[in-house]
Amino acid sequence: MSDSRHFSSDSETSTEVWIRVALDVPVEGPFDYRGPQDVVVGDRVIVSFGRRKMIGLVVELPSTPGCDPSLVKHVESVLKDIPALSASWLKFARFAADYYQRPLGEVVMPALPVALRSLSAYQGKRSAGGPVARLDQRRAPKLKPTEPSAPPSLNDAQQHAVQVIGDSLGFQAFLLYGVTGSGKTEVYLHAAAQTLARGKRVLMLVPEINLTPQFEQSLRARLEPVAGVGGVAVLHSALSDGERLRAWLRAQRGEARVVLGTRLSIFAPMDDIGLIVVDEEHDPSYKQQDGLRYSARDLAVWRGHDLGIPVVLGSATPSLESWVHAEKGNYKRLDLPARAREVNLPSVRLVDTRRLKMEHGLSVQLLDAMRTRLANREQVLIFLNRRGYAPALHCTSCGWVSQCPRCTTFTVLHRMTPGRHQLHCHHCGFQQRVPQACPDCGDQDMQPIGRGTQRIEEHLGMLFPEARVARIDADSTRKKGSAQALFASVHAGEVDILVGTQMVAKGHDFANLGLVGVLNADAMLFSQDFRAPERLFAQLMQVAGRAGRHTGHGEVIVQTGYPEQSVYQALLKHDYSGFARHTMNEREAAMLPPFSHQALLSAEARELNVALDFLQAARDAAHTLLVAQQTEAVITLYDPVPLRIVRVDNMCRAQLLVEATHRPALQSLLRHWMSALNEHPDLRRVRWQLEVDPLEI
């Protein structure tokens, strides 16, 4: 039964203690209150903050308050329906708050399930007993035991990796570098089984929600004999509030011996972890892009270090940060150089499109290869990382292009149903019907520019009328369970041609996939972001790795107008180490990450000059601090600049980059800088955000 204890302000002082509470507010805290003697660090409390009531987390019991005692309010209630969060978990949250320069409350509270931080879940007509009691009274869904599967025999490289991980004493970060199809998952499973056998628990991270179903199935089939039925819990943002609360409680209560999830699961309330695994560690999805802008991969390494346990980072295309750590000996590299099934890597062919006549964006070479594979009853994957029907709509008479009224970007043409289209902005969500005539000149002959996954799907249906064509992207998988159903149909052989975005590029083992065709890869080649070539190479290697995983005669065709580029030349040889060496030399010469450390201050305002003025004032304040700290030699402050897409949802955006060759000096600057920024007179007109170790600039 829920235990929500009321504490009256009329209580005797002898029964009171000072408590320090972290609240999810954009103000530096924590905040002091009075509370009953039985309150402990890690409890949640209901408090009054300004004119509203909130749930906060007790993070300290100070001997004296940090302000005038007569001004300190009493807590309203202490919530005892779950055990107090542990000191180890709070230490981890404090590190995240300090490193990413956020108030502690903005870390600890969003890490909890919605019900545990929602006032309405504890107060009001429907709150009887509280959310935990209500959930416990409901019958939990019964999990049938998964049919156990016998582990396949490991090759020498896999056996070596499992043994080295199992023999590690205390903390060690391992970079498990293996080509696509080399059996990294088997290494994870064997290492996890060893960890469970020692009585410890396992935390496993995957980059995307759509990868969790197949991982959960593998984990249950292989680990339930040790972890028990229901011993695997899944945590990610697509769960309903009730599902997430149940999984979180099972993790905190110790019922779940294995927790599998996306980046938010790095905050899972587990203390007796014996192994942390981060699959596809290079994936940018591990970086949160709003609120606390943390890297789950980097936090996984810190948490493993704090707990004194091994952390396994797996990838066929490791991030350059992890690669450099391995080169320096900070991480131990474990190589899986060959595919686990003793089949060849797919052949890669570059099709130079500069002088080719294309058919709906598809080359003759790619179409011929598709016909051959389909005739052999093999599946084909067409990879295009651009959803929608077309990137824009334009008028052939006057040159009008569909523009978002709220953003400085084009609206994307989407096919809603056959014959009905809409224009969508992928930045602010604006939608409108396609105009019947050009808004500028009235001409009705408007045409789509370029191709998205919907348009390619439509063309392939016409070119291959006998083939079963399916599309997997963010639009086709909006409904809950739709992604799982679509992937299941591909695995079952019910799809001949699959059109997809990056959702299909990683982690999936399509047994009958013989050919991968890549369209429009050049779009990332000349990005202003210095990480774009690294991302492109990782994406191409990952999607190429889907071909021929079981047959050994897979083929990859990349259409490009720049076949001589180093990204494509390295792809031809499946040569990640060569690409990494070339890119690291370029980065080191320019002193870019991982050879320097960055922070990005972003500002938004209704008018661009307000955002730029704020950033200029922030730069001046930072320069004053650099002079005082005598760190001008190791920290560079760049000038404020507008973003490439300067206006989004009627807010103008600009940014200021800070770069340092010495991480502690950068952290010291940021700590003092935050106080100066909070005192800026224009704060009501500007929204600002500091990001440490930004991935997109």
**Closest Cα partner for 618 from 639, 594, 636?**
639
User: What's the pLDDT score for residue 9?
Assistant: 38
pTM of the model: 0.92
How far is it, in rounded angstroms, from Cα 100 to Cα 107? 10
**Secondary structure of residue 165 in the 3-state scheme:** helix
How far is it, in rounded angstroms, from Cα 94 to Cα 86? 12
Interacting residues of 389 by C-beta distance below 8 A, sequence separation 6+:
412, 413, 414, 415, 421, 448, 452, 454, 455, 458
Asked if residue 114 belongs to a domain, the reply is yes
My answer on whether 529 and 663 are in the same domain is no
- Mean pLDDT, the chain cut into blocks of 10 residues (697 residues total): 42 72 91 94 96 96 89 94 96 97 95 95 83 89 79 94 95 96 94 96 95 91 86 93 95 95 97 96 94 96 98 97 96 93 90 92 96 96 93 92 94 86 93 93 91 94 95 88 89 94 84 94 86 94 90 92 95 94 95 96 96 94 93 94 95 97 95 84 84 92
In whole angstroms, how far apart are CA 288 and each of 202, 284, 317, 567, 628? 22, 9, 20, 27, 33
Asked if residue 145 belongs to a domain, the reply is no
Instruction: For 484-537, list the strands marked E by DSSP.
Output: 497-500, 513-518
The CATH number assigned to the domain holding 111 equals 3.40.1440.60
My answer on whether 211 and 279 are in the same domain is yes
How far is it, in rounded angstroms, from Cα 289 to Cα 285? 9
Characterize the bridge pairing of strands 347-352 and 555-560: parallel
Full residue range of the structural domain in which residue 35 is found = 4-137
User: What's the pLDDT score for residue 12?
Assistant: 42
How far is it, in rounded angstroms, from Cα 478 to Cα 151? 34
Token pair 């942390």 in the structure block, residue? 276
How far is it, in rounded angstroms, from Cα 621 to Cα 615? 10
Asked if residue 192 belongs to a domain, the reply is yes
> Within a 10 A sphere around the Cβ of 479, how many other Cβ atoms?
8
The CATH number assigned to the domain holding 524 equals 3.40.50.300
How far is it, in rounded angstroms, from Cα 405 to Cα 418? 26
- Asked if 477 contacts 503 with a C-beta cutoff of 8 angstroms, the reply is yes
Residue where one domain finishes, among candidates 102, 137, 172: 137
The CA-to-CA distance between both ends of the chain, in Å, stands at 50
User: How many independent structural domains does the chain possess?
Assistant: 5
Instruction: Output the CA angle 590-591-597, nearest 5 degrees.
Output: 145
Interacting residues of 103 by C-beta distance below 8 A, sequence separation 6+:
22, 25, 26, 27, 28, 29, 97
Token pair 């305002």 in the structure block, residue? 605
My answer on whether 319 and 427 are in the same domain is no
Asked if residue 488 belongs to a domain, the reply is yes
My answer on whether 602 and 577 are in the same domain is no
In whole angstroms, how far apart are CA 551 and each of 54, 347, 500, 540? 58, 12, 22, 20
